[in-house]
Structure 1
Amino acid sequence: MFSYRHAFHAGNHADVLKHAILVHTLDYFNKKDAPYWVIDTHAGAGLYSLDSDWAAKTSEFADGIGRLWEATDLPPILAEYVNRIRSYNTNGRLRRYPGSPWLTLDALRPSDRLRLFEMHPTEIDTLVGNLEHQGRAAQRQTTIYGDDGFEGVKALLPPPTRRGMVLIDPSYEDKHDYRRTLLTVKECIKRFATGTYAIWYPLVQRREASEMARHFENLKVKSWLHATLTVKKATIDGYGLHGSGMFLINPPWTLHDALKQAMPYLARELAQDERAGFTLQFRENPFPVPKKHSDD
């Protein structure tokens, strides 16, 4: 259960997709003055050194953020994302990578709040230590729970502000995480139907991944957006990550157009073989309530 460490994968192609969408979504939230909450069910350590033994062992960031680092033709949503990563690095050298909690803290205003869940004993210690270096303002805004995010998120909904976003991105190392993710999203929607939910999942040779996505598409929600990025063909033995997906419930209305530009770019620039590609779907009011007809 606790063998997964995100430091091995920080800044890879899956992080590029997830974090570009996260940055855009939070910027959209900030267009209104009303405060909001962000709840991250699987926070990780928050900040990663790309010089560490873990990151250097696989160097997955080289085929993710590394391929965008020097690009001058980035679509707007990717340009903003890369700019956020640049703010953590000096002299133009890619040495550090911020995870979802830190990218969120960058976007939050004084009245907004961040709630983080992390169960890995080492990751949470690192997360707490990293937060202590962020200053008092960030510490006042943030609460860290060493609990199961699947369960803990439900008790926080709806947030007092009645505006908020929930990010759900477990490792799916345990195949039961697919079902737990689906059930958690269903329970959260009952409590907070107007919230924005961003669910990341891996593209792997497991039927649970595709089945979970199909279930999401059948939820009775106001709108949803589904983006997948494939960077290479699946392995014969079924192991390994050949892409990832992001499913958003009640996404920003600006996100679809932003991704229409970005997804072809990512599929081209992050491709590792000829099987790279993407999908992008958006549905608004997918299950409209039938209109009542009068007898007149």
Structure 2
Amino acid sequence: MNYRHAYHAGNFADVVKHAALALVIEHLRKKDTPFSVIDTHAGTGCYDLLGTEAGKTGEYQDGIARLLDGPALPALFDGYLSAVRAVNPDWPRLRFYPGSPRIARSLLRPGDRLALVELHPEDARALKREFAGDGQVGVHAGDAYTALKALLPPKERRGLVLIDPPFEVTDEFQRIARGLGQALRRWPTGIYGIWYPIKAPEPVERFLGEIATFGRPCFTVELFRTPPDDPSRLNGSGLLLINPPWKLDESLDGLLPVLADRLDASGPSGVRWLVADK
């Protein structure tokens, strides 16, 4: 699977992931002390939905465009929607879509920090241009898991690591598990959010089972656009949250039914706490 951000910007998986991401950061904002957000696969930060890549697939039409097509959304979506609105100067006309760096940046307060990591050289250069002169944002070109060794623990000792790989290699789940194990040893109290695609359920369940053995509180947020019965297509989107903020699961429980309705999801969706097999 190739999940290069630009080709899939604003699709249903992005909507689920980014609406949940905004809620995580809003929970971090409830305490006065500064926090740090580290995005390990940051992409370019913002995408032209009519550009070469996103325009070629048109996946945003079944994602962000569908979400916005209807009555006003509940307040749970306010942080996410404000980030989408901010990059569209002709709002409500939809032309651009904010990636996770732009969404995270829109929710930072003075004193909070954002660290962005991107391996692809062209995307890393675009990311540096996107945030040039922003003293609260640092951009690092390089491998995600190598960068985490240098970035963890952050000086704030509070915050989120978002791991959102492109899943271009067959052993991505194994790489995430190894990287998470190392990261948790360096920063055991950090919040970790890991996005994953759901095609066939078996590889996902094996991955989640391994993460559950780490012994940290964690749950998944999953939405299936289609039932998981065809492993050749992207059936669902999942976000694993380790050390989640208090009552975040309740907020996400309120978010998912609205997403499922607006995105015309025909498969199951929900929040599921993970427990290691005994």
Report the TM-score, using the length of structure 1 for normalisation: 0.86
- State the match for 1:184 in structure 2: 179
CA distance in 2, matches of 1:45, 1:266: 25
Q: State the shift of 1:181 in Å.
A: 0.5
Is 1:31 aligned to residue 25 of structure 2? no
Match in the other structure for 2:223: 229
Q: Is the 8 A contact 1:68 1:82 kept in 2?
A: no
Question: CA–CA distance in 1 between the matches of 2:232 and 2:218?
Answer: 29
Q: Which residue of 2 aligns with 1:69?
A: 68
Alpha-carbon contact 1:117-1:145 (below 8 Å) kept: yes
Q: Structure 1 counterpart of 2:82, which letter?
A: N
Cα displacement string for residues 257-282 of structure 1 (whole angstroms, at most 9, x for unaligned residues): 1121221222232136xx42213113
Give, in whole Å, the separation in 2 of the partners of 1:195 and 1:117. 17
Aligned equivalent of 2:111: 111
Identity percentage of aligned residues: 39
How far apart, in 2, do the equivalents of 1:29 and 1:280 lie? Answer: 19
Note if contact 1:165-1:196 (Cα within 8 Å) is conserved in structure 2.
Answer: yes
TM-fit CA distance, 1:18: 1.0
- Alignment-derived partner of residue 190 in structure 2: 195
Partner of 2:129: 129
Which deviations, in whole Å up to 9, do the C-alpha atoms of 1:163-190 show, x marking residues without a partner?
A: 1210001011102211110111111111
Q: Distance in 2 between matches of 1:76 and 1:216?
A: 32
Letter in 1 for 2:225: V
Q: Which runs of 5+ in 2 are unaligned?
A: none
Paired residues for 1:1-296 under 5 Å: 5-89=4-88, 90-132=90-132, 136=133, 138=134, 140-205=135-200, 207-221=202-216, 223-234=217-228, 236=230, 238-271=231-264, 275-282=266-273
Per-residue CA shift, 1:37-93, capped at 9, x if unaligned? Answer: 111110001010111021111111111111111332523323442232122212311
Unaligned runs of 5+ in 1: 288-296
Q: Deviations over 1:197-247 (max 9, x none)?
A: 0000000137433211222233211x22211110013474x3221111001
**TM-score, normalisation: structure 2:** 0.92
| Cα distance in 1 for residues equivalent to 2:191 and 2:52 | 36
Aligned residues: 275
Q: Which is higher, the Rg of structure 1 or of structure 2?
A: 1
Q: Indicate the RMSD between aligned Cα atoms, in angstroms.
A: 2.0
Distance in 1 (CA, whole Å) between partners of 2:83 and 2:147 is 29
* 3-state SS, counterpart of residue 32 of structure 1: coil
Q: Runs in 1 of length 4+ with deviation above 3 angstroms?
A: 233-236
